[in-house]
Structure 1
Amino acid sequence: MSSPSSLTPDSPNKGFLLQVPSPIVTRRSRTKSTTEIANSNPEVKGKVKYFCRTKGHGFITPDDGGVDIFLHISDIEGEYIPLEGDEVTYRLCPIPPKREKYQATHVRIVNFTPEVHHRWDCLPSEGH
């Protein structure tokens, strides 16, 4: 993109740069060892307990019980925003530095709730 000084004097954009935020959520970068651990863990099932698009995170309740699992926006695969009650599959990834807690990675919605699901490229609605 051009800098303001490189624009011609008669340019209508002189001194103004348009910066449009990308609608594409990028993956989190993890160390090779953490990625290998997540990839080697089996796929498990659960239901979305809560997810807030504007905050970028939520929680999954595992089908086998146990504590709720943290879910980050960058670990969701697919084109739809998860809603409460959606059934998902995911892999567990230890959270550094102590690796005592886990978060969900490779999250895929496998059974949608009846509510209308929005795609990531739609404008965020209030509260979701």
Structure 2
Amino acid sequence: MTSESTSPPVVPPLHSPKSPVWPTFPFHREGSRVWERGGVPPRDLPSPLPTKRTRTYSATARASAGPVFKGVCKQFSRSQGHGFITPENGSEDIFVHVSDIEGEYVPVEGDEVTYKMCPIPPKNQKFQAVEVVLTQLAPHTPHETWSGQVVGS
């Protein structure tokens, strides 16, 4: 009796020359709508930050009844829709969402602003600026209106 071990034959994985070797989810097949679009569309995930639209009435009422603070725009990205304000008292920078800016100009670094504060859920430990009004535009800086027109230089 010989002790030859018999192992099963090695079979290469099946794949079509038109499809990738490693399948992905959803499976991209030639001719499918996913294949033609070039990928899977990103899912619309809800923003974790409350905007003017998603803020509760009670949070809006509390913020409106609160004191008005002064600060300077540290930075604002129109494409990302948010920025930060440096408070006049020198405390930690305050987040500001595009939906909370009132007026016709997009804030730029150095603009003086007034704002009220609203806590950010779920822990309500940090705050965001609401009812933001540009009180003094930064001198010698071009400003853009929300419609895209550049004013000043």
Matches within 5 A, 1:87-98: 87-98=112-123
Residues 34 and 27 of structure 1: CA distance in aligned 2, closer, same or farther (over 3 Å):
closer
After TM superposition, the score normalised by the length of structure 1 is 0.73
CA contact (8 A) 1:28 1:75 kept: no
In structure 1, distance between residues paired with 2:67 and 2:123: 21
Matches within 5 A, 1:102-121: 102-114=127-139, 115-121=141-147
In structure 2, distance between residues paired with 1:97 and 1:35: 16
Deviations 1:17-48 (A, max 9, x none): xxxxxxxxx94331111111111111100000
Match of 2:94 in 1: 69
Q: Secondary structure at the match of 1:89?
A: strand
In structure 1, distance between residues paired with 2:147 and 2:97: 17
In structure 2, distance between residues paired with 1:40 and 1:94: 13
Q: Percent identity between the aligned chains?
A: 54
**Is 1:36 matched up with 2:36?**
no
Deviations 1:51-78 (A, max 9, x none): 0000001000000111000011000000
Alignment gaps of 5+ in structure 1: 1-25, 124-128
Aligned length: 99
Q: Secondary structure at the match of 1:93?
A: strand
Q: Could you tell me which amino acid in structure 2 is paired with residue 97 of structure 1?
A: P
Q: Could you tell me which amino acid in structure 2 is paired with residue 36 of structure 1?
A: A
Higher relative contact order (CA 8 A, sep 6+): 1
Q: Secondary structure at the match of 1:67?
A: coil
Q: Which moved more, 1:27-36 or 1:96-105?
A: 27-36
Distance apart, 1:103 and its partner CA = 0.1
Higher CA-based Rg = 2
Deviating runs (4+, > 3 A) in structure 1?
none
CA contact (8 A) 1:86 1:113 kept: yes
C-alpha RMSD of the superposition: 1.7
In structure 2, distance between residues paired with 1:113 and 1:90: 17
In structure 1, distance between residues paired with 2:114 and 2:108: 14
